[in-house]
């Protein structure tokens, strides 16, 4: 069968079935595997956009995120759906949100960079918790004495915020409210919660206090 003989309506139905069944976003490279025919990226994108239109006005929507395409519950219905599996959302401290915001908007950064910006010592527990959450990862080392690790956000961070790239990050003042609800991921699964000590950790000593004590 060649490209011209592809039944596009059938192909759209196949895409719909695969995306509804998947627990993770699916990129175009994975979606192509559904077909014997060699569908182009342009054709797949057109079918996905048509599918997104088909689902407008329903309780779920088709969205594109950093890792690919997925169905998710519309935000206005998520709180109602959560009643079926009530979970106490993590309470993110100011220290956690400020650390995440600095990494997101200034990346790549070192732990020392974060401390210079915040003016306080950043607990290793906060960095480890953000890494365990899947939102932050080490992307290299800074070429300075000691070669400290460079931190950046991950695709999962973008996926949980339901955006495709860092250019779509909201204004800094809105990041906290988005992070507070990002634990309810679009596919309906439960994202791993941060360790309580990191989520509610009190403010650390200042950088100046640590230097004075050294």
pLDDT for 191 beyond 80: no
The pLDDT, as a whole number, for residue 34 is: 95
Of 133, 119, 102, the residue nearest 196 (C-alpha): 133
pLDDT for 193 beyond 50: no
Fold of 94-213: Arc Repressor Mutant, subunit A (1.10.10)
The pLDDT, as a whole number, for residue 56 is: 95
The pLDDT, as a whole number, for residue 25 is: 95
Q: Report in angstroms the alpha-carbon separations of 193 from 69, 75, 90.
A: 24, 20, 6
The pLDDT, as a whole number, for residue 214 is: 52
pLDDT for 190 beyond 60: no
Q: What is the pLDDT of residues 136-161, one digit of tens each?
A: 999 999 998 989 999 999 999 999 88
Name the percent of the chain lying above pLDDT 70.
Answer: 77
- Fold match between domain 3-84 and domain 94-213: yes
DSSP 8-state class, residue 96:
H
Q: What is the pLDDT of residues 76-104, one digit of tens each?
A: 998 898 888 777 666 678 888 889 999 99
Q: Report in angstroms the alpha-carbon separations of 104 from 64, 97, 114, 116, 172.
A: 20, 10, 11, 16, 10
The pLDDT, as a whole number, for residue 195 is: 43
Q: Mark out the alpha helices in the chain (DSSP H runs).
A: 8-21, 28-31, 41-54, 75-81, 94-106, 111-118, 124-132, 155-160, 172-181, 196-199, 207-213
Per-domain residue ranges of the chain: 3-84, 94-213
Residue 13, token pair as written in the block: 């139905």
The pLDDT, as a whole number, for residue 208 is: 53
pLDDT band at 16 (very low <50, low <70, confident <90, very high): very high
Q: What is the pLDDT of residues 40-81, one digit of tens each?
A: 999 999 999 999 999 999 999 999 999 999 999 998 998 898
Domain 3-84, CATH number (from 3.40.1210.10, 3.90.1530.30, 3.65.10.10, 1.10.10.10):
1.10.10.10
The pLDDT, as a whole number, for residue 182 is: 59
Cut 0.95: pTM above it: no
The pLDDT, as a whole number, for residue 212 is: 52
Strand partners for 131: none
Mean pLDDT over the full length of the chain: 82
C-beta atoms surrounding 101 within 10 Å: 19
């Amino acid at each position: 069968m060649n490209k011209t003989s592809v039944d596009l309506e059938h192909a759209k139905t196949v895409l719909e079935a695969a995306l509804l069944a998947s627990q993770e976003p699916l990129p175009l490279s994975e979606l192509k595997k559904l077909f014997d025919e060699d569908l182009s990226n342009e054709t797949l994108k057109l079918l996905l956009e048509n599918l997104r239109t088909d689902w407008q006005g329903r309780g779920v929507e088709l969205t594109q995120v950093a890792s690919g395409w997925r169905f998710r519950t519309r935000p206005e219905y998520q709180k109602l759906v959560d009643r079926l599996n009530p979970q106490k959302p993590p309470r993110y401290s100011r220290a956690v949100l400020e650390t995440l915001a600095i990494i997101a908007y200034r990346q790549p950064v070192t732990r020392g960079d974060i401390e210079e910006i915040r003016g306080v010592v950043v607990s290793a527990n906060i960095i480890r918790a953000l890494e365990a959450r899947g939102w932050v990862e080490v992307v290299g080392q800074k070429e300075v004495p000691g070669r400290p690790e460079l931190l950046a956000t991950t695709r999962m961070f973008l996926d949980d915020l339901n955006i495709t790239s860092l250019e779509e990050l909201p204004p800094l003042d809105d990041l906290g409210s988005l992070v507070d609800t990002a634990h309810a991921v679009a596919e309906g699964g439960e994202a791993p919660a941060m360790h309580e000590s990191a989520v509610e950790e009190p403010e650390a000593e200042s950088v100046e206090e640590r230097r004075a004590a050294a």
